[in-house]
Each structure stands twice: as C-alpha cells, then as structure tokens.
A and B are shown apart, each in its own frame.
Chain A
Amino acid sequence: MSLFFVALAVEGVLLTVIAALVVLHRVLRVRRDRVGRLVEARTAAGLRAWLLEGQGAHAYIRALTDIPPHIALHRLATAMTEHIPLEHRDELVVLLRVEQWTAAIARQAASRFWWRRLAAARLLAFTADPSDRVRVRRLLDDPHPAVRTAATRCLPRVNDPELVALVLDRLPPLAPLVRAALTVTLRDLASHTVPALLARLTSAASSRELEAWINVAEVIGAPEAYPHLAALAGHEEAVVRLAVARALKRQFHSDASDVLATLLSDGDWRVRAQAARSLGALGAHEKTPALETALADSAWWVRFRASLALAQMGEPGRRVLKESRRASDRMARDMSSLVCGLSDGSIIELTEA
C-alpha cells in the first residue's frame, strides 16, 4: 500500500477517534449531569433536613458518601463556605471524621502527588482536630504553594501555638500577597499569634522578617503591639519604617499620631506617603499643619495622600484644602484642587485603595 493511503488512513483514524472521544465524553457527561442533579437534590434535601428541620446530619453525610470522593469534597467545601453556619459545623465534623472516604482523603496528606495533598489539606481545613497535628505540619512544609496555603486554613482547627509560630517563621520569604493570604488565617488565631508575634518584633530580627511580621500585626490590630511598633519607627531600613507607618493606622493609641507625624518627614517618600495616609485613617486632627506642609512635598504620592488625609478629617481638613487652592506652591494648589473636586464616594474609595 502506498504511503499516501497509509497517511490518509492514519489521519482518518485519528479524526474518527477524536470525534468518538468528543461524542463519548458528551454522552457520559449528559449521563453524569443527570446523576449529578439527582445527587445534588439528595444532598440539598439532606442539608435542608439537617439545618432547617433539625433531623441530624446523617442524611446529608449519606448523600455525600454515595458520590465520588473528589466531588463530595467539592460539595462539602461549597456547603461549608456558603450554607452551613459555624454553630453547626462541629456536629458535621464529628460525623465526617468516622467516614471512610474522608479518612482516605486525609491519608493523602502523605501522597506523592500534589493534587492529592491539596485535597487532603482542603478537607482538613474543615475536619482537622488536634490529633491531625503531624499531618498539618507536613502539609505546611509542602513544596507546592497551593497545598501550603490550603494547609494554613487547618490551623484554627488544630489550634496549636507551635504550628502558628511555625507559620509566622515561614512568612518572611514569601511574596507579599501570599503573606496576605496566610495572614487572614493568623488573624483568626489572634490568641496564639499575638504572643508569638510580640516575641519576634524586636530590632534583632532582619528587616525582611520585621516587614512581614509588622504586616501581620497591622492585620490583627492588637493594641499590645503598639510599643513594639513605635520602637521600630526609627529603624534604619525604609521597608520597616514603611510597614510601621502602615500598621499604625490601626493603632488608636494616643501617641500613634506623634510617631506618624515624625514619619511624615522621613527621607523616603513611600514612608511619608504612608504616614499621611495613616494619619487620615486615624482622623488625627491635631496633625493638620503637618499634613498641610506635606501638600507641597516633592513626591506626587505624598501630596496625594496628604490631601486625601485632610479630606478625611472633616471640616478642619477641608478648610485647609480650600485655602491651599490659593497657595503659592503650584503643586499644593493642583493637588488641593484635585481632591476638592472629588465626590465623597471617590474620596472614600481612594483612601481605602
């Protein structure tokens, strides 16, 4: 047979196989969707019977057991996020922990494959208890970032100060946004996080570590952290001073505005801009003159943040802005005009963003 006919046959077979696969997948999907709708109806009925009619979670658990584990996990995660109130979760977890399919998924914490470890971490985020400490610790050390992130969600359930400290120590080298994601969990565990944090907020730590930990202190907003933050306001590294300036916006300590006013004359424009922003967030009226001076700062962002901070301070701040529209300094004039022209909604949005 000639080469042409061989090639023609190969292409014909390939096309037939692809078309058959598409059709087969479509048929299977239609069938799976039909079964899925029935399962969904059963799980929804089980959930309703449990949450609304007080009949216990057994019917819901049975419905989850009847579906493939990965789909059951997805359904469970969605229900936990969207439907099941906090006060009902422990009841469900007790029942789930004795189920074979959940035990099988939890065992995947030691799997060679990252997607299985991710499934284990996702499940343990809802079902873990202190006995899962070793598993959670292993997942926190996972090489895959998605698994590590999911594992931090297990911390509130394991409730172990040592694991919280471990997460804190792992934060500094991570990217800022990854840290922000992990900090959400640390905030929920403030009782463990704050003591560990205070022990770390010393000048002995590196600037990278301090930046990460000060950000955690900012999110938690614990008043106990104020003396540590104030002490770090004079740190030689600008990134640390910047983090302090940001964190102080949540510290309603009587001296916080004084520290921020000092930072408003920092050598780094980012620190000055952040100090202005935090003064606005604190509503520190007594620092209006310092902010007025900052309107003529050489950096655009400092002028912008100072003018927004003044706009946040109500009548006294607005008055300063209006007067600055006739100021001799052109940059102060332009920025005051910009902010005076903004609607209240825009000012709120811009100060928050």
Chain B
Amino acid sequence: MDLLTHLAGQGIRLADTTILFYYLTLNLFYVVLFAIAIPDLWRHLTLSDDVDERARLLSSEAFPPITILVPAYNEEITIVDSVRALLTLNYPRHEVVLVNDGSSDATMEHLIHAYDLYEVPPAYPVYIRTAPVRAYYRSRRFSKLLVLDKKNGGKADSLNAAINAARFPFLLAVDADTIIAPDALQRVSRPILLGEHVAAVSATLRVANSCHIEHGRVTDARVDRRWIPGCQVVEYLRAFLFGRTGWNALGGNPIISGAFGLFRREYLLAIGGYQVGNVTEDLDLVVRLRRYLHDNNIQATLPFIPDPIAWTEVPTTLRILARQRERWHRGLIGTMVAHRDAVANRRYGPFGLVALPFLLIGEMLAPVVELLGYALTLLGLAFGLINWEFAGLFFLAAFGFGIVLSCLGILLDELSFRRYSRASDLARLFGYAIIESIGFRQLTVWFRLRGFWYWWRGSHTWGVMVREGFTGKQGGPQQRAAA
C-alpha cells in the first residue's frame, strides 16, 4: 500500500511538474512575444506619425482601392449606422459590398429605406459558387454601396458572394457590427504603400461595449463595468498589442480576425474563398492562404499592424460567452485536424514549425492541460501526495504569471495608444487583469473543453448570438440575434 501511494505520489508529482513546465514555457513564450513586439509597435507608431504624408496621398491614386465585405444576418438594429460609418470612412477609393444572408428580421427593409436602394440586373461574375443571390441593389444616395440579398448560407457563403461582386484588388472583411476608426483604412494600407507584397493585413480589434458611440464612431473609449466584457478588454489588449505584434517577427500571424482583415483578392480567389461550413472561417482561411503561398512559392507576407483600430461587441453574458468560446475552439480543432500534415512541417517554414505547433500545443490543448493541472494539483494536495509549496508554485505559474502578462498588455497600451484616458478605467483594467486570470479563464477552459465534445459529435452550428446594439448606447441595451 505504501509503495502504491508512493508511486501515485511520484506519478502525480511528475505530471504536475510537466504541466508546471508547460505553463512556464508557454508564459515565457508570451514574454518573448512581448519583448519582440515592442520594437515593431514603436516602428508603426513612428511611421503612423507621418500625417502630412497621408494627407498628401489622399488626393493621389497611391492608396489601394479596397472593397469592404459585410456579411449581415439579422442586424436590423445596427445595420443602418454601421453601413453609414463604413461609407463615410476617410479613404479615397473604397466600396461597400453588403450581403444580407437571408435575414428573418427587417435588415433588408431598413437598408432599402435608409439608402434608397434600387434593384440592378444580376450581371456579376461568379468565381466562387454560393447560395442563390435573390437580388442585387445599388443606392441612389451612396453610389459606392452594393447590396446583395441572398438565401441564407452562413457567414462564409455571404463573404464568398461579396468576393464575387467586389471590384477592387483588396478586400476588407468586417462584421456588420464592427466599428472601424475613420482613418483605419489609410493605416492598414501602410505595408502596401511601403512596397511590401502582402497577401493579407490584420489590425487591432478592441472591445466596444460601454464605449460612447455616435453616428457609428467611437468617441469615448471606456472599460465596461461588468466583469464579463471587462475581462475581455484585458484579453483583447494582451492578444492584439503584444500577442499578434510579436508574431510579425516570428514569421507572421497565424490568425487574422474575421471582424477586420484585409486580403489581396487574387489570393482569396485562388484558394476558392472562404470554406462554407467551417465555424471559424477566418482561421481556416489564413491557414489555407499560407499553405497556398508556400506551395506556390509566392513571397507574400501577412503582417499585423497595431495602429488601425476596429471596435467590436463582445458577449456580456456567460451563456453567450460559452457559445462563442465553444465555437472558436471547435473551429480551431477542426482546422488543426484538417491541416495536421502542415504541423511541424519544415516545408511551411516558420508557419509550419512555430505558428501551427503553437496553435496546437498553446491553444488547442491548453484547456485539457489546464484542467489536468488543476485536478492533479488539488488531488495531490487532498491526498498529501504533493506539498503546499509545490502547489503554490503551480498556482503562481498558472494564475500569477497570467496576471503579469495581462498587466504587460495594459502597460503597452498606456505607453502606445492610451485609449483609456480615465483613471477609473485604468484601475478597472488592473482589477480585471486579476479576475481574468483567476476565474474568467477557468470558465473559458470549461467552455473550450465543450468544444472538443461538440467537435467530436460533428456539430457545425454557430448558435444564436444575442448581442446589444450600438444605437442608443447610453440607454438600455437593445437585444438582437445574430447567427
């Protein structure tokens, strides 16, 4: 019996030590990302300071023409303001292609009324097959607006329909409820203007909940008082400010957010557009795009630019958050399984050797390792198989290091963009940095574990996502549903 207890103790201690090292390695990797993000962040801040150059170029043909792709499903509350904000972006050459994906609410009626839409004949090329488009509309008030009314086929299908109808060589995929800063398109074009051959460009997403929004523009950035969106503010700061900036130096980002990403159209067409049925179409698209570039020996980059900003609404209830995180994780698992031959494959360079293994070990398996770590440590403590010191070290690595990393994200924002000007917001951010590591993340572990289960069952559903509208932001929340 003593031998058995001894062996169990040794086993748990070994497993716990391995998990402890997993945490330390992963967190140290984030520290490395932080360190290498600083020069790149500073470089972009220096380059973005050249306001006179941008003003001069606005009147030239130097800025690349961009088509903004907007898939919309049941967006009646926000659609008119969102589209107006997109149409009035400070950019010399852009068009908006909005796809109403068979909404069951009054999205289409609102658009027709607000923008004086009239039907035009369906004389657009079809490069990618999609669900049938019922009608094409142009606006009498804004000639740069094209609206497609199609049968419901999902977000990826809507984006593909928009790609077919787009005229310009660069495509910006946004969510209908994303609020883009007025100068974001000018900023996101920077690598193209500097002569870099880019296949795609990603930019910063921030949390719009509780921000003051007027006419589709964020006029006052605030940190939500509610803990669920508040913790996500910290998460987004950490992920975008040093997570994604750091990846630039490691061969480029493995993820370009579907809510705000610029793509070269020819490459999207070459890979057949978005994959219908994939619940994280943005991740799948980037992996396929990178593989296509490598397979065809195309020297193109996918940089992340930190200063163009788009604001997005995040879940405010546990139920919605659970659905979102479960779907994200299910999509990640599906993508990793589909592209398993590229993981640790030298043929794909840094993407195959660093980014994909990171997605596998640091993201996909993270909830499993984390749950195991908590369970083994608590079991070990309960049965006296590990000592308090070891358990303390484990929780310091799991929680304490996470808090430090979140605070580094807050520091980086303070030193660079300083979006949150109030001291109360700053204090709240530090508070949420603690809650995010102790409480919030553990909840998302559970949600992400459910992703494994639903993936195993072959689920392809998005789930109903109830959000608050931006209109009447200072008043009571307006509920809407989006799939």
Contacts and interface: CB of A to CB of B under 8 A. Distances in A.
Contact of B143 (A22, A146, A345): A345
Contacts of A178: 62, 193-195
Given A115-B46, A300-B125, A18 B411 contact: yes
A191 interface: no
B3 interface: no
B64 interface: yes
B93 interface: yes
A4 B47 contact: no
Contacts of A184: 56-57, 59-60, 62
Interface in B299-338: none
Interface string B191-227: 0111111000000000000000000000000000000
Nearest to B168: A353
B148 interface: no
B138 A342 contact: yes
Contact of A349 (B60, B143, B196, B396): B143
A85 interface: no
A329 interface: no
A151 to B, nearest CB: 11
B195 A19 contact: no
B389 A353 contact: no
Interface residues of B, number: 60
A80 B52 contact: yes
Contacts of B400: 7-8, 11
Given A14-B404, A146-B47, A149-B194, A181 B121 contact: no
B440 to A, nearest CB: 18
A146 B190 CA distance: 10
A349 B144 contact: yes
Contacts of A346: 138-139, 143
Contacts of B106: none
B284 to A, nearest CB: 29
Contacts of A146: 47, 50, 194
B426 A177 contact: no
B259 interface: no
B7 interface: no
Contact of A177 (B49, B56, B62, B389): B62
A10 B49 CA distance: 37
B63 A149 contact: no
A81 B57 contact: no
Interface residues of A, number: 54
B95 A353 contact: yes
Interface stretch (A104-112, A194-202, A333-341): A333-341
Nearest to A77: B52
A350 interface: yes
Contact of B167 (A149, A153, A337, A353): A353
Contact of A18 (B50, B139, B401, B404): B404
A181 B393 contact: no
Given A26-B426, A338-B123, A74 B49 contact: yes
B271 to A, nearest CB: 21
A202 to B, nearest CB: 25
Contacts of B168: 353
A66 B88 CA distance: 39
B428 to A, nearest CB: 13
B410 interface: yes
Given A4-B392, A334-B123, A15 B407 contact: yes
B50 to A, nearest CB: 7
A7 B57 contact: no
A289 interface: no
A272 interface: no
A3 interface: yes
A146 B50 CA distance: 10
Contacts of A26: 414, 423, 426
B403 to A, nearest CB: 7
Contacts of A74: 49, 51
A346 B137 CA distance: 12
A230 interface: no
A79 to B, nearest CB: 10
A18 to B, nearest CB: 4
A208 interface: no
B430 interface: yes
A348 interface: yes
A118 interface: yes
Contact of A15 (B53, B95, B144, B404): B404
Interface in A132-157: 145-146, 149-150, 153
B140 A343 contact: yes
Interface of A: 2-4, 7-8, 11, 14-15, 18-19, 21-22, 25-26, 29, 74, 77-78, 80-82, 115, 118, 122, 125, 145-146, 149-150, 153, 174-175, 177-178, 180-181, 183-184, 219, 300, 304, 334-335, 337-338, 341-343, 345-346, 348-350, 353
30 contacts: A7-B397, A11-B396, A22-B414, A26-B426, A29-B418, A77-B51, A78-B51, A78-B52, A81-B51, A115-B43, A115-B46, A122-B50, A145-B195, A146-B194, A150-B53, A175-B197, A177-B63, A177-B192, A178-B62, A178-B193, A178-B194, A180-B60, A180-B61, A181-B62, A334-B121, A341-B138, A346-B139, A346-B143, A350-B143, A353-B65
Which 10 residue pairs spanning A and B have beta carbons closest together?
A349-B143, A338-B123, A181-B62, A346-B143, A180-B62, A81-B52, A337-B121, A345-B143, A4-B392, A145-B194
